Amino acid sequence: MRFVDLAATSTAVAATSGRRAKVELLAEALRKLAPEELVAGSGYLAGELRQRQTGVGYASLRELPPAAEQPTLTVAGVDAAIAELAEARGPGSQQRRRELLAALFGAATVEERRLLLGLFSGELRQGAQAGLLAEAVARAAEVPLPTVRRALLLAGDLKTVAAAALTGGSGALTGFALQVGRPLAPMLAQSAASVEEALTTVGLPSVVDVKLDGIRIQVHRSGDDIAVFTRSLDEITSRVPEVVAAVRSLPARELVLDGEAIALDASGRPRPFQETASRAATRGARRAVRDEVARAPADTEAAEVDRTRREATELVDRAPGPSGAVDGASGVAGAVDSASGGLRAATGAGGAVADGGGTRSFGAAPVAPSTAGSVRSVGPVDISEVPRIGTSGTAPAEIPGPERPATVAPSVVAAANTSGGVVLTPYFFDILHLDGVDLLDAPGHERWAALARTVSSAQLVERITVDTVEQASAAFAAAVDAGHEGIVVKAPEAAYDAGRRGAAWVKVKPRHTLDLVVLAVEWGSGRRKGWLSNLHLGARDPETGGFVMLGKTFKGLTDELLRWQTERFQELAVERGDWVVRVRPEQVVEIAFDGVQSSPRYPGGVALRFARVLRYRDDKTAAEADTIDTVRAIHAGRRPD
């Protein structure tokens, strides 16, 4: 297939608003791909490269030869060229990579170049999310959509599923199954604004889990082989020896566990999330983030989008990326979740090797098993005989806090010492496979019973059953007081809906709000061109009478708000740059956010996480805005005065 035709499809999809029309465009392109082009071509339509790391970063894309007049590239040819780029190693590799990149872009027309730039940067915004691609695959292959979705969840990689569907139909898709050692997309939780809303969605009785502010981990064990994956299916086994040690001490021979790893202080309270993330993130990913932040222009909305993506990779998405990024943030871009929540195969530090429909990656360095404490023995499980739990009765909301320090096995501490970092304590809340038995389709209460029989109570996420809103509210308050993110309300009868954000799990987190002052605004780009969009937010400094910048946001703005603020901030302008309009610090805006994190980018040393606009506060003056002391109290886990 000609690459220009695929590029034309990408452009058409981006310009099309209707879901059905997008799906048909994608399906038509998939039908035209040759069998050997399906993996690469379906990836291009999804906005990703088959090669997870190419060594090509933003700096490499700044100086390119003129575009070709006539199209000559094919999908297979582009894939081969990018594979050669990714394989460049050793002395002279940077020069070789520049030559290969110049040859590829020199052969690309303007439209083809647009697609290539989007693929290399990880910023191809054409509206072809994984959900649409799944529908397009089903239509192109003439197979049932549920069959495609199920295969996608188990394979963890859209490209592999597309190739299987279009070459083997339904028969090939039914061959996908949970394979120990191959990560699958985790089940996700919806969000609710309140405990009452969550219970309305899930129903009563419900099970309430503490929501830890750690990194999501999926641990696979087969005998002595253990592999640890993140939410986005990147392998981090070598970075978390204490998780390996904890799982190695369990009596089961084959299992797949779902949980969180978190850094705790001596009293059992969570350490700042950045400490957890820095332990699990690979050094290459962190270095790429720092380099790109230093290089990126600070006064464009597009730069802020890129910065958010890079910071999300290491700090927010709980999914640290693979090491080895070369020349910028290509490794980081590869670690960011796809729109579906990260449905793709893993590669990473542990030496993963593609194995048919996914990844089998084992071989972590041995860690001495723990001899401390006791764990309940378990043999092969007949799930029909597992006792039911969690469907009746109540229990006190026991939440780890200062009065109830977390228990950490000595082997876990010893393993952590080999990393030279803070201890990451693993906690598990679900089990997907146990000694030859797949548990994905079993009700939650049966899976959790099997989990309790397999994992020491010290390694289980705190969980209670509630029959009333009052009980759930008490559990929520206790979790937040102990420094945790909140709770997850779960339906005890629900199966494990891998890769889906269904109604069976609903998370509730406290919503922080602050009244802040707008210090500057950036002109928008793309659809927001011509409007003042990205807000620079400041908290009041009671000592100096000035304002301390906490970050930027363009989220939560409707078209009506964009029009209003464009007029308003031009009235308040004191300095008009090409990109940034600095304004008198008078306008107060109410901002919602998920938390506060340390940040060397801003003078106060802190920044807001996931800040978004709720409303403008014309009833408040700047002198009534919240202070930097309030922000720091939230960062420290204290209740603001």
Report the pLDDT value the prediction gives residue 586, as an integer from 0 to 100: 94
d(CA 52, CA 46): 14
Domain positions in the chain are 3-173, 188-282+348-508, 512-635
Is pLDDT of 450 > 90?
yes
* 243 and 217 Cβ atoms separated by less than 8 Å: yes
Report the pLDDT value the prediction gives residue 93, as an integer from 0 to 100: 84
Report the pLDDT value the prediction gives residue 364, as an integer from 0 to 100: 36
Is pLDDT of 216 > 90?
yes
Mean pLDDT along residues 245-250: 93
Q: Tell me: the pLDDT tens digits for 307-355?
A: 333 333 333 333 333 222 222 222 222 222 222 222 222 323 233 323 3
Report the pLDDT value the prediction gives residue 410, as an integer from 0 to 100: 53
Report the pLDDT value the prediction gives residue 245, as an integer from 0 to 100: 93
Which residue of the set 211, 490, 509, 552 is catalytic?
A: 211
How far from 339 is each of 127, 133, 319, 357, 385, CA to CA, in Å?
Answer: 9, 11, 14, 20, 39
- Cα four-point dihedral sign 563, 564, 569, 570: positive
pLDDT band at 169 (very low <50, low <70, confident <90, very high): very high
**Reported pTM:** 0.59
Is pLDDT of 372 > 50?
no
User: Taking every pair of C-alpha atoms in the chain, what is the biggest distance, in angstroms?
Assistant: 73
Residue 171 phi/psi, 5° resolution?
Answer: -60, -40
Query: Is there a cis peptide before residue 205, judged by omega within 30 degrees of 0?
Result: yes
Report the pLDDT value the prediction gives residue 638, as an integer from 0 to 100: 61
* CATH architecture of the region 512-635: Beta Barrel (2.40)
How far from 592 is each of 194, 316, 511, 537, CA to CA, in Å?
Answer: 15, 16, 7, 12
Max mean pLDDT range (70-74, 157-161, 408-412): 70-74
Q: Does domain 3-173 have CATH number 2.60.120.10?
A: no
Tokens of 19: 């879901």
Q: Tell me: the pLDDT tens digits for 19-36?
A: 899 999 999 999 999 999
- Residue, of 59 and 399, whose pLDDT is higher: 59
Mean pLDDT along residues 113-139: 80
d(CA 603, CA 451): 46
d(CA 425, CA 420): 15
Q: Look at strands 501-508 and 188-192 and give their pairing.
A: parallel
Mean pLDDT along residues 198-204: 95
Locate tokens 């020491």: which residue? 456
Q: Name the 3-class secondary structure at 193.
A: coil
Report the pLDDT value the prediction gives residue 369, as an integer from 0 to 100: 31
Among 218-232, 339-353, 528-542, where is mean pLDDT lowest?
339-353
Among 9-23, 38-52, 109-123, 282-296, where is mean pLDDT lowest?
282-296
Mean pLDDT along residues 161-182: 91
d(CA 454, CA 242): 18
d(CA 619, CA 588): 9
Please say if 509 is a catalytic residue: no
Among 289-298, 373-382, 504-513, where is mean pLDDT lowest?
373-382
pLDDT band at 269 (very low <50, low <70, confident <90, very high): confident
d(CA 69, CA 87): 29
Tokens of 32: 């035209």
Q: Is 123 exposed, middle or buried (0-12, 13-18, 19+ CB in 10 A)?
A: middle
d(CA 608, CA 512): 10
**What H or E segment, with its residue span, contains residue 79?**
helix 75-87
Report the pLDDT value the prediction gives residue 125, as an integer from 0 to 100: 65
Percent of the chain with pLDDT over 90: 42
Q: Is 358 exposed, middle or buried (0-12, 13-18, 19+ CB in 10 A)?
A: buried
Is pLDDT of 170 > 80?
yes
Report the pLDDT value the prediction gives residue 48, as an integer from 0 to 100: 83
Report the pLDDT value the prediction gives residue 146, as an integer from 0 to 100: 87
d(CA 73, CA 82): 12
The reply to whether 512-635 shares the fold of 3-173 is no
* 507 and 293 Cβ atoms separated by less than 8 Å: no
| 188-282+348-508 CATH | 3.30.470.30
301 CB contacts (<8 Å, ≥6 apart)? 522, 523, 524, 525, 528, 533, 534, 554
